[in-house]
Amino acid sequence: MPAAVPRPVLCLVTRPVDGEGRSLVETVEQAVGGGATMVQLRDKDMPAFDMCALAIELSRAIDGRALLFVNDRIDVALACGADGVQLGERGPATRRAKEKAGRRLLIGRSVHSAAGAAEAASAGADLLVLGTIFPTASHPEGPFGGKGLVSETAGKVSIPVVAIGGVEAGNAGAVMNAGASGVAVISAIMDSPDPKTAAAQLSKAIGASSPAGRQHGA
């Protein structure tokens, strides 16, 4: 059976090039050491064999401390023993993925609206990555949904909603207070000279604003 989705979620979404010239494995290892609870391996151009080899290497570096998801490639996720697959907006259908791999993989779905989130949840998704929340370097003009989109979406589904897009330590708490179950980041960790510290700061921000954190006065 698939592992449970951690709460709160701090997901590092990888990209092929590290902003500081480190190896991807090194960046992931540091991020998990700082508190990342999920890693999504994303590289649209990498051949399946190479992606599977990299996923296995990342899994060894993570060593059970975080979940490993593979972006879109159900076959790769199954072959390398990943914990889940993250389906893009134009990726395989949620229901088909659930039927094919639901007993072995968690199924994540990227969504951009509350309606899309509700549809993915009804089709069997285990978690949702919702964006774009705030302006980013690649999409400074939007569209982006802000905290309102997080609140609306979280109110329509019972599965975890993970916010992505312009999220950093300074605004992660606001996203959590709006109803998110966690955040996903790329540049906030990948571009940091110290991924472990960057992840630790994000982990602290979302932990303090999670229901458990608020209950204990964090």
Residue 215's pLDDT is: 43
> What distance in Å separates the CA atoms of residue 60 and residue 206, rounded to the nearest whole number?
26
Which tokens go with 180? 């998110």
**Mean predicted confidence (pLDDT) in 30-55:** 96
Residue 217's pLDDT is: 44
Instruction: Tell whether the model's pLDDT for residue 212 goes beyond 70.
Output: no
Residue 91's pLDDT is: 81
Instruction: Tell whether the model's pLDDT for residue 13 goes beyond 90.
Output: yes
> What distance in Å separates the CA atoms of residue 49 and residue 28, rounded to the nearest whole number?
20
Instruction: Tell whether the model's pLDDT for residue 192 goes beyond 90.
Output: yes
Q: DSSP alpha helices (H): ranges in the chain?
A: 24-34, 48-62, 74-80, 94-101, 114-122, 146-154, 169-177, 187-190, 195-209, 211-215
pLDDT digits (tens, 9 = 90+) for 113-128: 999 999 999 999 999 9
Q: What is the residue-averaged pLDDT of the chain?
A: 92
pLDDT digits (tens, 9 = 90+) for 53-87: 999 999 999 999 999 999 999 999 999 999 999 99
Instruction: Tell whether the model's pLDDT for residue 2 goes beyond 90.
Output: no
Query: 70 pairs with which residues across the strands?
Result: 41, 85
**Mean predicted confidence (pLDDT) in 179-187:** 97
Place 20 in a pLDDT band, splitting at 50, 70 and 90: confident
pLDDT digits (tens, 9 = 90+) for 120-168: 999 999 999 999 999 987 667 778 899 999 999 999 999 999 999 999 9
